[in-house]
Amino acid sequence: MPNQFAQVEPHGDLEQIIDDVWSVTGSVAFKPLVRLPRNMVVLRHNDELTLINSVRLDAVGEAALDTLGKVRHVMKIGFHGMDDAYYVDRYGAKQWSTDEGAGLIREECALPFPQARVFMFKDTVIPEAAILIEREGGLLITCDSVQHWVPKKVMSPLAKVMTRIIGFQKPAQIGPPWRKKQTPVGGSLRADFERLSELPFQRLIGGHGGLLERNGPGLLKDSISREL
């Protein structure tokens, strides 16, 4: 395999969220001594897999992934994409993105899995999306926009302290650095998040943090009131 791909970082095992949807918590060395968790979501339709917020896996993890089906699609809905090229090369997967690639992610696009739709932020500086799975109470998949931070084994001790100081580790947290980068000068993202909070979902999983099991809209509305 060519050397231009990002190396495998410490990660956990695939864990099922709902029928035909799994997640795996990986990690990234953000700064020296600061290792942050990052999540990949795997969706299956028939025998085809779609990866959102991709995370490269070790040989054991990749073998487990292959038992689920064939990787056919890789979706970049936000800033996470460091491992997309690996999966495109390894499996010949189709690359989806909000701004480029063979598959352009837009609210009206046809997704490679059923009972799902795209939410597009309208006021961000750089295009960003979320994916709503419309079954089993609703599952919202985000990147950095909304993150449900919980302690993870892959996090370094300094990362646990740093993220608390920055303002993470709240339920359905609107990412502080993401908000700063994505808010237009003199603008606001409140309207976008109010639209997002009206979607029918109970569970939420972002590109960082953990799985929020229930009351996603209510906790997101609390974040909107607190932060926007």
Provide, rounded to the nearest whole percent, the portion of the chain with pLDDT above 90: 77
Q: 116-162, pLDDT tens digit by residue?
A: 999 999 999 999 999 999 999 999 999 999 999 776 566 667 767 77
Contact 49, 73 (CB under 8 A): yes
Using CA atoms, how far residue 103 sits from 75, 96, 120, 142, in Å, is 9, 4, 15, 18
Closest CA to 179 of 164, 194, 190: 190
- What pLDDT score does 1 carry? 47
Give yes or no for residue 175 having a pLDDT over 90.
Answer: no
Q: Which CATH architecture has domain 15-227?
A: 4-Layer Sandwich (3.60)
